[in-house]
Each structure stands twice: as structure tokens, then as C-alpha cells.
Structure 1
Amino acid sequence: MSELSKLISRGEGKALELKEEMPANQNIARTAVAFSNMGGGKIVIGVEDKTGKIIGVNDNDILNLPDKISNVIYDSCYPAIVPEIYVAKAENKNVLVVEIFPGNLKPYFIKSTGRERGTFVRVGAVNKPADAEMIHELERQKLNISFDEQMKNGCTEKDIDFQKLKMNFKTLTGRSLKSGDMLTLKLIKEIKGKSVPTYGGLMLAGKKEFFEQAKIKCARFKGNDVKIFIDQKEFSGPLYEQVENAMNFARTHIALSGKLNGIQRIDRYEVPLEAIREAIVNAVVHRDYSISGADIKFAVFDDRIEITSPGQLPCSLEISDLESGRSEVRNKVIARFFREIKFIEQWGTGIIKMMDFCREAGLKQPEIKENGLFLKVIFYKASAARSPKNGGQKKWSETVVRNGGQISGQKRPPEINGRSFEIIALIKENPYISRKELIDKLGINGSAIQKYIVKLKAAGIIERIGADRGGYWRIIK
């Protein structure tokens, strides 16, 4: 099967439109505009759009349609769109391919209706009129400016809570944040000698809520639908605090189940918290904040967990690209700050790590869906899991051993004894546990605790994220 035949077999989508015969001039123009404003695409003529059945085009159409289509697009669209039109084989039949490339002069629109009413974007397999917010987003793309890099008119640096940010930055990184770093991180920008906060700066450190859509709504539902709430919370404020608050909600409502193995009790969360964290961080960093009235949704059901974030994938990405590690930064200020505080370790690894955590826990792979202007990640709970013998594996970060001893089916790393396992168990139960709390729970002195922690770090089992005060432990293997 040719690459074109494979593409046709997948059906219409955000980069493909199928037509049995040449469509009306207006439809061609709208699709050309939508593809140019997004990531480009192909119109394939000679294929039934509903069934995908390849009909082919006759010789007269092959000769006459290319010029006609080129003229329609040139006469109807502004700025000028120049398609590439060619004949291709699909199942030994000739089809006509009209390839539209991503434009550099966005927004593109229909001349006869003007920019405000004639700008179209591709949402799934549909051309939709762009609203004012989307037109502004297309303008930003032309200028290579992200939403969070814009300056907030009417605000000054006094609207940034620098003291709180400075304290939290020190807690999270162990480093001091200086006034000059605000410019380097683009939390503020200088204009005509004045410091003006960026949108990103206000979402990370604003003294009040400037963007109603910049929040996470969490809910625990009874059963597998949204009819009955068991609990719900709404988190606003600095974005990095929202991540931690959402994770606290997850710890409360994702069940921790136990299984006896001899004298040992092995506890594990229904879905690895590490995977949930990667998905939440990814949603906060990469969502489309230009969509007003739309926030991140974190929903826990009996059989699954869903994290829904506003915004399609960036034009150049498909879902398969995410799973292979490709990424594109939508919010440059937020992403840079999250990298500084180590919420992001390396670009493009979040989705891969999320998948790995679930696979190693013996769970069904998370599902990523693009639904209109939203992206959804679905985690399936243990009821849909594969057993370890069918590919699921246990790892240190998903397994807590009480009463000491060795994790079933694994060898201890060198020099890791029963007391170290108790420390791992306590960290797993509470990643924010302090050294003092470890001392109190284990009944040993501080120097002994420090010795075990040094060994666990040296063995690559745990690491400390952030400073002693306010930071947390991460079990890495």
C-alpha cells in the first residue's frame, strides 16, 4: 500500500480532506485558508469522503482541474496561497492531490468576507471560523511570540509578588533569585525604561488572579461518569503551586492498594503518581492559555483518570510524535521557569516517561486523544492492567515494602538493607517527609538517617528535588 493510500485509509482529519469530485469554489478556498493557518494539509480529489472509497479522476479532470483550482485559491484567498497540485496513484487509480503548506503570513482569510469573518482554522476534520482570540494567536505565530511572552498593559512590576517568588524559588532550587533574573526569565520586560510584567510572569507570580482560565479543576466522581461528585477542588494562583495542589488531590483520591506476599505487604497506587505528575506538568506547560473560559480538568473515575487541557496540538505535531519524544514549546516563559525549578528535566521526555511508568506498573498504556480544541490524557486503572508476566514490571517507585525485606522478584541494590527499605517506604507514602520526621518515625539519630540517604542517593534510588525546606524526595528507580 502506498503512503497516500495509507493516509486515505485513516480518513479525514486536521491535515486531510477527501472529495469525490471538485468541490464548490468557496469550500476549496476555506480549506486552503484553514490549512495555511494551521500545519498545512492535502485535499485529495477522487475519493469518497464518508467511505474512503477511491473513485479516481478522469483524464479530462486531470488536465483541467489544476489550473481551475489554482485560480480559485489565488483569487479567493489573502495573503496569496500557492498550492502544489499533482496526480498520484492510489489503488492503481489516478487521484488529484492539492497540497497546501503552512503559511508564514498568518492570518490567511477569504478576501470577499474580510479578516474578521473570513479567517478559518482546521479543527479535527472541519474548517471553523476563527474568533478574535484565534486571530490574535495566528498573529503571534507570525511574529514568533508565545501567548505568555506578551506584556500586560496597565500592569507594572508591582503586580508581581517578587518576595514570594524569591522565597519559593529558593525552596525549590536551593538558588537565589535576583531582580535581574526576572528579565532573563521574561517574567517582566523593559519598555521605555519601565518594567512591565508578561502574561507568563503574572501567571507564575502575580499578586492577584489576572487570567481566569489559568487554573486546574479537580473532581472525584462516583462510578464511571460525571453524574455524581464525591469531591471537587479548584486551584488557582502560581502555576507551580497548582501542580502541587493537584498532586495532593491525586494522593487523596487515587487508591493505594496492598497485597500480602508472605510476611511482606506490597502497596501501590492504582496509577503511578509519577505518571500523573508528568501529565499535569505537561498540561500546565503546553495548554493554550489564549482560550478564555477554558481550564485544565483533572477527573478521577472508578475505572480511569482523565486530564484534559485546552488547545489542539501545535500545528506541526501529531499524537504519534508525542509518543516518540518530539515536542514544541507553546508557552516559552512558563516552560523556561518550570525547567529552572526542575519540574521539567529534559524537553520531550514527559510523555515517554509517563508511558514508561504505566508500562512498568503493568497497566494499559495511557491514551492521548485530540478532541476539537482540547487534548485529553486517559489513564486506565489496575482493572485494565496487564499482569507482570504479560509485560508489566514492578519498579522501586511503584512498590512500597513494609516490614523491611526484599521486594518480590527483585534483587537489592548493593549496600541497601532493611532500614533503607523503610526509608523508601516512608518517602513513597509522603515525598515531602522531612529528615526530622524520618528520625521520629524510625527512632534513629540524624547522622544515621544521613548515612542511609547518602547510600540511597549514591545507588541512584532517590534524589532530592529542591531545598531541604519545602522540597521533596523523588524515587527514581
Structure 2
Amino acid sequence: MDVKKAKNLIKKEEGPKLDFKRTIDVQYESGRKELAKDICAIANSRGGRGYLIIGVEDKTKRIVGIEDTDLQEEQIQQIVSMRCDPPIPISLEFINIADKKIAVITIYVGSQKPYQLRENGAFYVRRGSTTDTMRKQELISALQENMELNIETCPIINSDINLIDEKLVKRYFNFQGIEIDESNKLPLLTSSSIIYKESEAQDYCLTLGGALVFCKNNNILLPHNMIKLINKLDNGFDEVYIIKGDLLDMLDGFERVLSMLLPKNYPINAVCEVIKDVILYRDYTIYYREIEVSLNYNNISIISPGIMVQEKELREINFTRRNMWIYEKLVVLDEKGRFAKSGKGFSKVKRAFKGHGKVIFINSLENNIFKVIFPGVYRFVD
């Protein structure tokens, strides 16, 4: 890292990927613990590379510097490798600014998140400029993103497999060239992770993905699986629609309701393109929020539980690392071919509103939601 980049970092405020320390004494156990904890938190936080800068006051940004003997790269690497599981990729550089030496620890983007401290087993993350333990939903999302946990195949304890829609199951297996009947039904459903059985002594139960894709009455088990649409286009009162069912039924139901409520010249297909992706890629581990849609005269908004998984900026979002089990099932089952066309969808959405206003995409880490705001209906009224 050169001096110019270091100065630019110092000008920035502390955040999930940037932390300043006036000093840190790794000769003592307390200092080693603090260093490992902070590096772990930065590594687990979303974004690109992170930086821990030592020798700079966090509030004033005053450069106080460090002594030559304060830190050594071999020592820092050893602290991280011994205390963090798995070891976090880092590097240490010393930079001279205004006749003072500062230390910059670069925390690289690793492929083995989430990281934890060996000592207490805790997972840490940055919330703004502070370090905190990861919450359950954050830990689940981190595991999902790195393919260490497939939430769709997790069992729903005490669920009734009789809720499965036989027609959907037959359609799915027929597409694979498999004839399903009573003799092979349970083995096929189990091997495909639609249902689950831990032992002979226990009954079969549905998996999360099995309930979402193959059960029309899954709201009995998953009340958060719904689209709540609030129509505020008519003056005087809000009209609320609750759209439930298996995921394909939800998409079909949403398209019908939207076609009924919006003007014919409004780009309804673009809104449906977004809701299709939201249904597919929302975070189904968030059990306390549903998909929310609001129709206003000035704008139309869609709020999805969980941020969208992305590689870089929100120019094009990489959805490929969440709910792949569900994706494969919907590609097969959707006779309209909507899910087979996934990819680059947001570019199409923007083009659909060209000349009528801007479509805004918001990935909110703080609120753990993904939000899309479309131009209002008034732009399409003659």
C-alpha cells in the first residue's frame, strides 16, 4: 500500500471494513485477544478487503504512530492463525506519514467465512464502527453463502408430509423421466430432500424447500411465506391483498392482482420480474417478515427479507449462491419458463422504465432487506 492510499483510508470514517487503533499491545494476552477479535469481526463483515490501522486515533484521526518494536508480521500472523478458525488471510505493512510510522493490517476476502475465535467459539461482526457477536440470522446467512449450510433441506419438525401436492411432485419427477408411484414415492422424496427422516423411530417430515415448493397450504407451517400487497392508489382507504401458496402459485397470484390494479400501459412485466427474483432469492430463514409490496400514486415499492447476495456493487447482483435447491425445482416446474430466464433481469427492468423515471435498488445491510422502488403510476396516466 502506498502513502496516498493510506492517507485516503485515514480520511474515511470507521465502518464494517475499517477500524482505527491508537495502540494495541500484543505483548499481553488482553491485546492479543482484542486483535484477533477485531480481525475476525472485519473478516466476517460484508464487503471487500478490510483494514485495521494502528497508530491513528479513531475519533480525531490524529496520527500518533507506533514504535519499531510494537508489531512484527510473523507475530501477527501467528496470533491470527492460532486464535481464528479457520485462519484469516491477512498482511501487515508499515507506512511512514508525517514522520510517524503506522501499521496497516489488510484483511483479505476469504472463501471460508464465517470465522470464529477458537478460545470461546464466538463469531464476531462489525456493526458500523463497533464489534459485536453475530446474530443467528447473520450466522445462517454467512454459512449459506459459503455453501456450508443448505437451509432448504433442513427439516421442519412435526410437519405433515400429507400437505404435499401430488400433482407438483409427479410433474417434477416426470420431467426427470421418473415414474413415481406408491412403491418408490418415499425413497424418491427422501433422496431429493423434499421430505426427511432422521431414524426409523421417527416419522417423515417436510423440509423447508419441500414445503415452499410442493405444498399449496404451506402457510400452516410457514406463515412468513406470503406477499402482502397494499394498494394505496384509491383515495380514502388502503386495500390489502395477502397472496399465499406454493412459490409458483404466489407468483401467478401476484401477476393476476397486479394486472387488475395497475394501468394497462404500466410496465407490469418489469415489476413481476423483480417479484420473481424476490420469491426465489429472499432469505427464508427470516421468519418474522413477509415480502411487502406497496402501490402508491408516486411510486411502487417491493421489500424483500434479507439482502441480496452480491459480489461487487449493485450494478448486477449475483444471486447464484442462495436457494439453489429451490431454483432447480422452479426451473423444472414453471411451465411458463420464467425461472429459466433468470439472469441480468435488473437490466431489463431498468430499460422497461426508460423515459419514465429511475428504478432504485437498495441493499440495506443495516435493516437486512432488499428494496426496489419503481416510478409512480402518475407517469403513465394520460
Does TM-score exceed 0.5, indicating one fold? yes
| TM-score, normalised with respect to structure 2 | 0.72
CA distance in 1, matches of 2:329, 2:5: 41
Matched, 1:288 2:294: no
Q: 1:296 to 1:87 in 2, by over 3 A?
A: farther
Partner AA of 1:84 in structure 2: S
Give the deviation of 1:78 after TM superposition. Answer: 4.1
Match of 2:65 in 1: 58
- Aligned 1:2-401 pairs, distance under 5 A: 13-14=15-16, 16-19=17-20, 21-22=22-23, 25=31, 28-39=35-46, 41-45=49-53, 58=65, 60=67, 64-67=70-73, 70=77, 73=80, 77-87=84-94, 96-103=103-110, 107-111=114-118, 114-115=120-121, 118-122=122-126, 127-139=131-143, 144-155=148-159, 157-163=161-167, 166=170, 179=180, 187-188=194-195, 197-206=206-215, 207-209=217-219, 210-221=221-232, 230-254=238-262, 256=263, 268-269=265-266, 272-314=267-309, 317-318=311-312, 320=313, 322-324=314-316, 326-340=318-332, 341=334, 342-359=337-354, 361-372=355-366, 373-381=368-376
Q: 1:18 to 1:143 in 2, by over 3 A?
A: closer
Give the deviation of 1:155 after TM superposition. Answer: 4.7
Give the deviation of 1:203 after TM superposition. Answer: 0.6
Q: What SS does the aligned partner of 2:238 have?
A: strand
Does structure 1 retain, via aligned residues, the 8 Å contact 2:41–2:123?
yes
Larger radius of gyration: 1
Cα deviation digits, residues 191-227 of structure 1 (max 9, x gap): 8899764311211122543222222211134799xxx
Give the deviation of 1:330 after TM superposition. Answer: 0.4
Segment drifting more, 239-248 vs 24-33: 24-33
CA distance in 1, matches of 2:190, 2:204: 9
Gap runs ≥5 in structure 1? 257-266, 386-397, 401-477
Give the deviation of 1:348 after TM superposition. Answer: 2.6
Segment drifting more, 82-91 vs 158-167: 82-91
Q: What SS does the aligned partner of 2:287 have?
A: coil
CA distance in 2, matches of 1:223, 1:19: 52
Give the deviation of 1:32 after TM superposition. Answer: 2.2
Q: 1:399 to 1:221 in 2, by over 3 A?
A: closer
Does structure 1 retain, via aligned residues, the 8 Å contact 2:49–2:106?
yes
Partner AA of 2:115 in structure 1: Y
Cα deviation digits, residues 271-313 of structure 1 (max 9, x gap): x112211111111111111122122111222311211111133
Does structure 2 retain, via aligned residues, the 8 Å contact 1:325–1:352?
no
Q: 1:222 to 1:148 in 2, by over 3 A?
A: same
Gap runs ≥5 in structure 2? 25-29
CA distance in 2, matches of 1:50, 1:353: 44
What is the count of residue pairs matched by the alignment?
Answer: 357
C-alpha RMSD of matched pairs (Å): 4.5
CA distance in 1, matches of 2:297, 2:274: 19
Partner AA of 1:295 in structure 2: E
Q: 1:355 to 1:222 in 2, by over 3 A?
A: closer
Does structure 2 retain, via aligned residues, the 8 Å contact 1:300–1:306?
yes
Q: What SS does the aligned partner of 1:345 have?
A: helix
Give the deviation of 1:126 after TM superposition. Answer: 5.3
| TM-score, normalised with respect to structure 1 | 0.60
CA distance in 2, matches of 1:161, 1:248: 22
Match of 2:27 in 1: none
What percent identity do the matched residue pairs reach? 21
